[in-house]
Protein backbone atom coordinates (compact mmCIF):
# COMPACT_ATOMS: atom_id res chain seq x y z
CA UNK A 1 0.00 0.00 0.00
CA UNK A 2 1.27 3.49 -0.81
CA UNK A 3 0.71 6.85 0.86
CA UNK A 4 -2.06 8.06 -1.48
CA UNK A 5 -4.09 4.84 -1.14
CA UNK A 6 -3.75 4.86 2.65
CA UNK A 7 -4.78 8.49 2.99
CA UNK A 8 -7.78 8.01 0.68
CA UNK A 9 -8.83 4.99 2.74
CA UNK A 10 -8.57 6.94 6.01
CA UNK A 11 -10.49 9.92 4.64
CA UNK A 12 -13.29 7.53 3.64
CA UNK A 13 -13.48 6.37 7.26
CA UNK A 14 -12.02 2.92 6.53
CA UNK A 15 -9.71 2.55 9.52
CA UNK A 16 -7.45 -0.36 10.34
CA UNK A 17 -6.48 -1.48 13.82
CA UNK A 18 -2.70 -1.29 13.31
CA UNK A 19 -0.51 1.04 11.27
CA UNK A 20 3.25 1.09 10.74
CA UNK A 21 4.45 4.30 9.07
CA UNK A 22 8.15 4.09 8.28
CA UNK A 23 10.69 5.90 6.12
CA UNK A 24 12.57 9.18 5.74
CA UNK A 25 9.59 11.43 4.96
CA UNK A 26 8.46 12.08 8.54
CA UNK A 27 6.23 14.96 7.40
CA UNK A 28 3.99 12.48 5.56
CA UNK A 29 3.93 10.15 8.56
CA UNK A 30 2.75 13.03 10.75
CA UNK A 31 0.05 13.95 8.23
CA UNK A 32 -1.24 10.37 8.01
CA UNK A 33 -1.20 9.97 11.81
CA UNK A 34 -3.16 13.21 12.17
CA UNK A 35 -5.70 12.04 9.57
CA UNK A 36 -6.18 8.72 11.42
CA UNK A 37 -6.70 10.47 14.75
CA UNK A 38 -9.14 12.97 13.21
CA UNK A 39 -11.15 10.15 11.63
CA UNK A 40 -11.14 7.90 14.72
CA UNK A 41 -11.67 10.23 17.66
CA UNK A 42 -14.00 13.28 17.93
CA UNK A 43 -12.16 16.51 18.79
CA UNK A 44 -13.82 16.78 22.21
CA UNK A 45 -12.53 13.33 23.27
CA UNK A 46 -8.95 13.52 22.00
CA UNK A 47 -7.46 14.64 25.30
CA UNK A 48 -8.93 11.53 26.91
CA UNK A 49 -8.74 8.87 24.21
CA UNK A 50 -5.51 9.66 22.33
CA UNK A 51 -2.25 8.55 23.95
CA UNK A 52 1.08 9.69 22.47
CA UNK A 53 4.46 8.13 23.26
CA UNK A 54 7.75 9.60 22.03
CA UNK A 55 9.34 6.12 22.29
CA UNK A 56 8.23 2.55 22.90
CA UNK A 57 6.43 2.07 26.23
CA UNK A 58 6.84 -1.11 28.23
CA UNK A 59 5.03 -3.95 26.46
CA UNK A 60 2.71 -4.48 29.45
CA UNK A 61 1.74 -0.80 29.35
CA UNK A 62 1.17 -0.84 25.58
CA UNK A 63 -1.01 -3.94 25.73
CA UNK A 64 -2.94 -2.46 28.65
CA UNK A 65 -3.62 0.76 26.73
CA UNK A 66 -4.76 -1.15 23.63
CA UNK A 67 -7.13 -3.34 25.67
CA UNK A 68 -8.47 -0.52 27.87
CA UNK A 69 -12.10 0.37 27.14
CA UNK A 70 -12.18 4.02 25.95
CA UNK A 71 -13.92 6.80 27.85
CA UNK A 72 -17.62 7.21 27.00
CA UNK A 73 -17.52 4.18 24.73
CA UNK A 74 -15.57 5.90 21.95
CA UNK A 75 -12.32 4.86 20.27
CA UNK A 76 -8.72 4.73 21.52
CA UNK A 77 -5.71 5.75 19.44
CA UNK A 78 -2.21 4.97 20.70
CA UNK A 79 0.56 6.75 18.76
CA UNK A 80 4.22 5.73 19.18
CA UNK A 81 6.42 8.28 17.39
CA UNK A 82 9.86 6.66 17.41
CA UNK A 83 9.34 2.93 17.69
CA UNK A 84 12.29 0.56 17.62
CA UNK A 85 10.20 -2.60 17.68
CA UNK A 86 10.58 -3.18 13.95
CA UNK A 87 14.33 -2.62 13.60
CA UNK A 88 16.77 -5.47 13.05
CA UNK A 89 18.62 -5.97 16.34
CA UNK A 90 21.64 -8.24 16.78
CA UNK A 91 21.99 -9.75 19.26
CA UNK A 92 18.36 -9.67 20.39
CA UNK A 93 17.82 -8.21 23.89
CA UNK A 94 16.49 -10.56 26.54
CA UNK A 95 12.74 -11.02 26.20
CA UNK A 96 12.69 -9.49 22.70
CA UNK A 97 11.10 -12.53 20.98
CA UNK A 98 8.64 -13.05 23.83
CA UNK A 99 7.48 -9.42 23.65
CA UNK A 100 7.04 -9.71 19.89
CA UNK A 101 5.09 -12.91 20.34
CA UNK A 102 2.67 -11.23 22.76
CA UNK A 103 2.10 -8.36 20.34
CA UNK A 104 1.59 -10.68 17.36
CA UNK A 105 -1.06 -12.55 19.34
CA UNK A 106 -2.79 -9.28 20.25
CA UNK A 107 -2.61 -7.95 16.66
CA UNK A 108 -4.45 -11.06 15.45
CA UNK A 109 -7.37 -10.25 17.75
CA UNK A 110 -7.42 -6.48 18.25
CA UNK A 111 -10.36 -4.93 20.11
CA UNK A 112 -12.55 -3.02 17.66
CA UNK A 113 -12.32 0.13 19.79
CA UNK A 114 -8.52 0.57 19.55
CA UNK A 115 -6.09 1.72 16.86
CA UNK A 116 -2.31 1.75 17.29
CA UNK A 117 0.07 3.76 15.08
CA UNK A 118 3.78 2.97 15.03
CA UNK A 119 6.11 5.55 13.42
CA UNK A 120 9.83 5.35 12.64
CA UNK A 121 12.22 7.09 10.25
CA UNK A 122 14.54 4.07 10.31
CA UNK A 123 14.63 1.00 8.10
CA UNK A 124 12.50 -1.89 9.30
CA UNK A 125 13.09 -5.63 9.31
CA UNK A 126 10.45 -6.87 6.88
CA UNK A 127 11.24 -10.51 7.62
CA UNK A 128 10.24 -10.19 11.27
CA UNK A 129 7.06 -11.84 12.54
CA UNK A 130 5.96 -8.50 13.99
CA UNK A 131 6.22 -6.70 10.63
CA UNK A 132 4.40 -9.54 8.87
CA UNK A 133 1.64 -9.37 11.51
CA UNK A 134 1.13 -5.66 10.83
CA UNK A 135 0.92 -6.39 7.10
CA UNK A 136 -1.61 -9.16 7.73
CA UNK A 137 -3.84 -7.43 10.25
CA UNK A 138 -3.23 -3.75 9.50
CA UNK A 139 -1.14 -1.64 7.11
CA UNK A 140 2.61 -1.10 6.78
CA UNK A 141 3.46 1.88 4.56
CA UNK A 142 6.89 3.16 3.54
CA UNK A 143 7.06 6.96 3.28
CA UNK A 144 10.06 7.71 1.10
CA UNK A 145 11.08 11.18 -0.18
CA UNK A 146 8.84 12.31 -3.03
CA UNK A 147 9.84 12.18 -6.67
CA UNK A 148 9.50 15.39 -8.69
CA UNK A 149 6.22 14.10 -10.19
CA UNK A 150 4.78 13.37 -6.75
CA UNK A 151 5.96 16.74 -5.45
CA UNK A 152 4.23 18.48 -8.37
CA UNK A 153 0.90 16.87 -7.39
CA UNK A 154 1.46 17.69 -3.71
CA UNK A 155 2.31 21.34 -4.47
CA UNK A 156 -0.83 21.74 -6.58
CA UNK A 157 -2.97 20.37 -3.74
CA UNK A 158 -1.18 22.54 -1.15
CA UNK A 159 -1.72 25.70 -3.22
CA UNK A 160 -5.40 24.81 -3.63
CA UNK A 161 -5.75 24.48 0.14
CA UNK A 162 -4.04 27.88 0.49
CA UNK A 163 -6.68 29.20 -1.97
CA UNK A 164 -3.89 30.68 -4.05
CA UNK A 165 -3.33 30.77 -7.78
CA UNK A 166 0.15 30.83 -9.26
CA UNK A 167 1.32 32.29 -12.56
CA UNK A 168 2.68 29.75 -15.08
CA UNK A 169 6.21 31.20 -14.90
CA UNK A 170 6.19 31.25 -11.07
CA UNK A 171 4.94 27.65 -11.07
CA UNK A 172 7.73 26.68 -13.47
CA UNK A 173 10.33 28.30 -11.22
CA UNK A 174 8.86 26.71 -8.08
CA UNK A 175 9.06 23.24 -9.63
CA UNK A 176 12.58 24.01 -10.82
CA UNK A 177 13.54 24.97 -7.27
CA UNK A 178 12.13 21.68 -5.99
CA UNK A 179 14.07 19.68 -8.59
CA UNK A 180 17.33 21.25 -7.36
CA UNK A 181 16.94 19.66 -3.94
CA UNK A 182 19.10 16.53 -3.49
CA UNK A 183 16.15 15.08 -1.53
CA UNK A 184 12.70 16.62 -1.62
CA UNK A 185 11.69 17.49 1.95
CA UNK A 186 7.96 18.06 2.32
CA UNK A 187 8.46 19.50 5.79
CA UNK A 188 10.76 22.14 4.29
CA UNK A 189 8.38 22.82 1.38
CA UNK A 190 5.40 23.14 3.71
CA UNK A 191 7.31 25.64 5.84
CA UNK A 192 8.33 27.68 2.77
CA UNK A 193 4.78 27.70 1.38
CA UNK A 194 3.44 28.82 4.77
CA UNK A 195 5.87 31.77 4.63
CA UNK A 196 4.83 32.43 1.03
CA UNK A 197 1.17 32.39 2.09
CA UNK A 198 1.87 35.00 4.78
CA UNK A 199 3.95 37.09 2.36
CA UNK A 200 1.05 37.20 -0.13
CA UNK A 201 -1.82 37.27 2.39
CA UNK A 202 -3.63 40.15 0.67
CA UNK A 203 -3.19 38.74 -2.84
CA UNK A 204 -4.78 35.75 -4.56
CA UNK A 205 -2.02 35.08 -7.10
CA UNK A 206 1.63 34.18 -6.53
CA UNK A 207 4.03 35.75 -9.02
CA UNK A 208 7.73 35.36 -9.88
CA UNK A 209 8.50 38.36 -7.69
CA UNK A 210 6.78 36.84 -4.66
CA UNK A 211 8.64 33.58 -5.20
CA UNK A 212 12.04 35.26 -5.57
CA UNK A 213 11.56 37.29 -2.39
CA UNK A 214 10.23 34.37 -0.34
CA UNK A 215 12.76 31.72 -1.43
CA UNK A 216 15.85 33.93 -1.70
CA UNK A 217 17.50 32.35 1.33
CA UNK A 218 17.08 28.71 0.27
CA UNK A 219 20.63 27.26 0.02
CA UNK A 220 19.95 25.12 -3.08
CA UNK A 221 18.62 28.13 -4.99
CA UNK A 222 21.38 30.41 -3.76
CA UNK A 223 24.11 28.00 -4.91
CA UNK A 224 22.36 27.57 -8.28
CA UNK A 225 22.25 31.37 -8.62
CA UNK A 226 25.94 31.56 -7.68
CA UNK A 227 26.78 29.09 -10.47
CA UNK A 228 24.69 31.19 -12.86
CA UNK A 229 26.65 34.29 -11.79
CA UNK A 230 29.94 32.40 -12.19
CA UNK A 231 28.98 31.37 -15.73
CA UNK A 232 28.55 35.07 -16.50
CA UNK A 233 31.90 35.88 -14.80
CA UNK A 234 30.02 37.95 -12.20
CA UNK A 235 32.43 37.32 -9.35
CA UNK A 236 31.03 39.96 -6.96
CA UNK A 237 27.48 38.61 -7.29
CA UNK A 238 28.60 35.01 -6.77
CA UNK A 239 30.59 35.95 -3.66
CA UNK A 240 27.68 38.01 -2.30
CA UNK A 241 25.37 34.98 -2.61
CA UNK A 242 27.94 32.80 -0.85
CA UNK A 243 28.44 35.36 1.93
CA UNK A 244 24.67 35.58 2.48
CA UNK A 245 24.45 31.81 3.06
CA UNK A 246 27.43 31.77 5.42
CA UNK A 247 26.07 34.83 7.22
CA UNK A 248 22.74 33.04 7.70
CA UNK A 249 24.58 30.26 9.50
CA UNK A 250 24.63 27.60 6.79
CA UNK A 251 27.33 24.97 7.23
CA UNK A 252 30.32 25.43 4.89
CA UNK A 253 30.24 21.66 4.31
CA UNK A 254 26.59 21.81 3.23
CA UNK A 255 27.37 24.64 0.83
CA UNK A 256 30.40 22.79 -0.60
CA UNK A 257 28.19 19.70 -1.02
CA UNK A 258 25.59 21.69 -2.95
CA UNK A 259 28.33 23.33 -4.99
CA UNK A 260 29.76 19.90 -5.83
CA UNK A 261 26.32 18.69 -6.91
CA UNK A 262 25.88 21.62 -9.28
CA UNK A 263 29.36 21.26 -10.76
CA UNK A 264 28.72 17.52 -11.20
CA UNK A 265 25.46 18.32 -13.04
CA UNK A 266 27.33 20.70 -15.34
CA UNK A 267 29.90 17.99 -16.05
CA UNK A 268 27.17 15.42 -16.77
CA UNK A 269 25.43 17.95 -19.02
CA UNK A 270 28.58 18.45 -21.08
CA UNK A 271 29.01 14.68 -21.41
CA UNK A 272 25.39 14.19 -22.51
CA UNK A 273 25.60 17.05 -25.02
CA UNK A 274 28.78 15.54 -26.44
CA UNK A 275 26.96 12.21 -26.86
CA UNK A 276 24.09 13.89 -28.73
CA UNK A 277 21.58 14.99 -26.06
CA UNK A 278 21.04 18.66 -26.88
CA UNK A 279 17.33 19.11 -26.13
CA UNK A 280 16.55 20.48 -22.65
CA UNK A 281 13.56 18.16 -22.14
CA UNK A 282 15.58 15.07 -23.03
CA UNK A 283 18.36 16.31 -20.76
CA UNK A 284 15.86 16.93 -17.93
CA UNK A 285 14.60 13.36 -18.24
CA UNK A 286 18.13 11.90 -18.17
CA UNK A 287 19.15 13.97 -15.12
CA UNK A 288 15.81 13.80 -13.27
CA UNK A 289 15.42 17.59 -13.23
CA UNK A 290 12.79 20.13 -14.24
CA UNK A 291 13.16 21.31 -17.88
CA UNK A 292 13.73 24.89 -16.66
CA UNK A 293 16.81 23.75 -14.71
CA UNK A 294 18.02 21.61 -17.62
CA UNK A 295 17.72 24.59 -19.94
CA UNK A 296 19.82 26.68 -17.56
CA UNK A 297 22.39 23.88 -17.24
CA UNK A 298 22.73 23.77 -21.03
CA UNK A 299 23.43 27.50 -21.10
CA UNK A 300 25.82 27.38 -18.14
CA UNK A 301 27.73 24.32 -19.36
CA UNK A 302 28.82 26.18 -22.52
CA UNK A 303 30.75 28.63 -20.33
CA UNK A 304 32.94 26.00 -18.63
CA UNK A 305 35.48 23.51 -19.93
CA UNK A 306 35.57 19.93 -18.69
CA UNK A 307 39.11 20.61 -17.43
CA UNK A 308 37.84 23.52 -15.30
CA UNK A 309 34.96 21.46 -13.86
CA UNK A 310 37.26 18.54 -13.02
CA UNK A 311 39.68 20.86 -11.22
CA UNK A 312 36.88 22.50 -9.24
CA UNK A 313 35.57 19.07 -8.16
CA UNK A 314 39.06 18.11 -6.97
CA UNK A 315 39.35 21.39 -5.06
CA UNK A 316 35.93 20.89 -3.43
CA UNK A 317 37.01 17.40 -2.30
CA UNK A 318 40.20 18.91 -0.87
CA UNK A 319 38.20 21.60 0.94
CA UNK A 320 35.88 19.01 2.49
CA UNK A 321 38.82 16.93 3.69
CA UNK A 322 40.75 19.90 5.10
CA UNK A 323 37.70 21.54 6.69
CA UNK A 324 36.78 18.34 8.55
CA UNK A 325 40.33 18.12 9.90
CA UNK A 326 40.41 21.81 10.88
CA UNK A 327 42.96 22.80 8.21
CA UNK A 328 40.59 24.90 6.06
CA UNK A 329 38.48 28.00 6.66
CA UNK A 330 35.47 29.55 4.96
CA UNK A 331 37.90 31.63 2.89
CA UNK A 332 38.71 28.52 0.84
CA UNK A 333 35.05 28.41 -0.24
CA UNK A 334 35.42 31.92 -1.58
CA UNK A 335 38.51 30.80 -3.51
CA UNK A 336 36.49 27.96 -5.08
CA UNK A 337 33.82 30.42 -6.25
CA UNK A 338 36.46 32.84 -7.60
CA UNK A 339 38.07 29.97 -9.49
CA UNK A 340 34.73 29.14 -11.13
CA UNK A 341 34.32 32.76 -12.22
CA UNK A 342 37.74 32.99 -13.91
Q: Domain boundaries in the chain?
A: 3-142, 148-214, 229-341
Lowest mean per-residue pLDDT among 26-40, 80-94, 182-196: 80-94
Contacts 24+ apart (CB under 8 A), 306-315: 306/267, 306/270, 308/340, 309/263, 309/266, 309/267, 309/270, 310/267, 311/339, 312/263, 312/336, 312/339, 312/340, 313/260, 313/263, 313/264, 313/267, 315/339
* Model confidence band, residue 57 (pLDDT cutoffs 50, 70, 90): very high
pLDDT 10s digits, 133-148: 999 999 999 998 888 7
What is the CATH class of 3-142?
alpha beta
Detail the DSSP E strand segments found in 25-164: 50-53, 76-80, 114-120, 139-142
CATH ID of 229-341, from 1.20.272.10, 3.50.50.60, 3.40.1000.10, 3.40.1550.20: 1.20.272.10
Query: Does pLDDT of 88 surpass 90?
Result: no
The pLDDT of residue 96: 64
The pLDDT of residue 93: 56
The pLDDT of residue 75: 93
CATH ID of 148-214, from 3.30.1490, 1.25.10, 1.10.8, 1.10.101: 1.10.8
Amino acid sequence: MNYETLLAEVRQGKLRSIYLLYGEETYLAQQVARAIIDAAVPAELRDLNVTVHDRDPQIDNLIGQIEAVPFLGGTNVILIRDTRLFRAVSPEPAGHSQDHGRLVKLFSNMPDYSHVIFMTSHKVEKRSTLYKAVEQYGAAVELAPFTLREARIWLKDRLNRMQKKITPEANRQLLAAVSLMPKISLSFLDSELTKLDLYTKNEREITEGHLAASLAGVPELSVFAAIEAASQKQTDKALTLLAAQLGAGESPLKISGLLARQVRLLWQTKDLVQSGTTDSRALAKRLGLHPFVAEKLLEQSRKFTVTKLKQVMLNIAAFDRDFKSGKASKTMLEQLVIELCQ
